[in-house]
Amino acid sequence: MSLLLKAAQVTLGSGRKTLGRATLVAVAAEPSEHVPVQVQHAFQTDAQIDELRRELAELAQTHAEQIRDFEERERAAYQRGIEEGIEKGVARVKLDHVQRIEALVAGIDAALAALRDRLQEVESLALDVAQAALRKTLGDTTACAALVVQTARHHLAQIAAGSAIGVRVSAKDFPDADALRDAFATLTRDTALTVDADPQLAAGACLIDLTLGRLDVSLPRQLSHFNRTLDELRADD
């Protein structure tokens, strides 16, 4: 319509006529075959503009939908990335924890193995020391007399009263009768227990005669028993 307003005249048939405002409206309402080419082009341009505007609106809507879809996909990807990162982090922490526990267990096992080896060495050394000490103590002939008295006192204390009737020791340890009597005085006082020094017995011998038998607590016998026990302990290692 803007083109029609600029035109001062329009050709109708073979004549020429000046158009007023009302005439322009009448012309616009007439069939297209009687409308000049310029007017038809104006109408076509308006229609194209409307079509372009409609297409532009559709494109804008499609673009907005694509933007929203992209943003949604981006948020979803970001969330998946966070979740995957958390899962990987948790898995890594668990793996590190398991590896640390395994390393700790391996270290403890190694320490225990080293400790066991060390204890075996110490135990073996302790057995050697104990055996050497027993040999030195029980095998010392100069101290046999005192050890015999202590051994006799220890075993008599464990025997029921009246069951022991006498003690026989080696004359090599107690060559003097008075010394023998004094050594066993606390054991024979107010009892029927007798103590004799037998020249046939070896040094360190101590035999306790019972009403129902005899108990051999001689020092060599005890030393042999101790050595056998220590050897068994050493063999168990």
Q: Do residues 146 and 234 make contact, with C-beta atoms less than 8 angstroms apart?
A: no
Q: Are residues 146 and 232 in the same domain?
A: yes
Report the domain count for the chain: 2
Answer whether residue 193 is part of any domain.
yes
> Tell me, what's the pLDDT at 134?
63
User: Residue 27: which domain range?
Assistant: 2-64
Alpha-carbon distance of 24 to 26, in angstroms, equals 5
Full-model pTM? 0.45
Estimate to the nearest angstrom the gap between the alpha carbon of 144 and the chain centroid: 58
Give the pLDDT confidence score for residue 48 in this predicted structure.
78
**Domain termination residue (choose one: 45, 64, 83):** 64
The last residue of one of the domains, among 48, 64, 80, is 64
- Is 116 domain-assigned? no
At 43 the pLDDT is 64
Domain boundary, last residue among 32, 64, 96: 64
pLDDT of residue 175: 92
Residues of the chain with pLDDT under 70: 1-43, 124, 127, 130-142, 237
What's the chain's average pLDDT? 77
pLDDT in the model for residue 233:
77
* Partners of 166 in the β-ladder: 194, 209
Q: The CATH number of the domain where 170 resides is what?
A: 3.30.2320.30
Q: How are beta strands 194-198 and 164-170 bridged, if at all?
A: parallel
What pLDDT does residue 122 have?
A: 74
Give the amino acid at 23: T
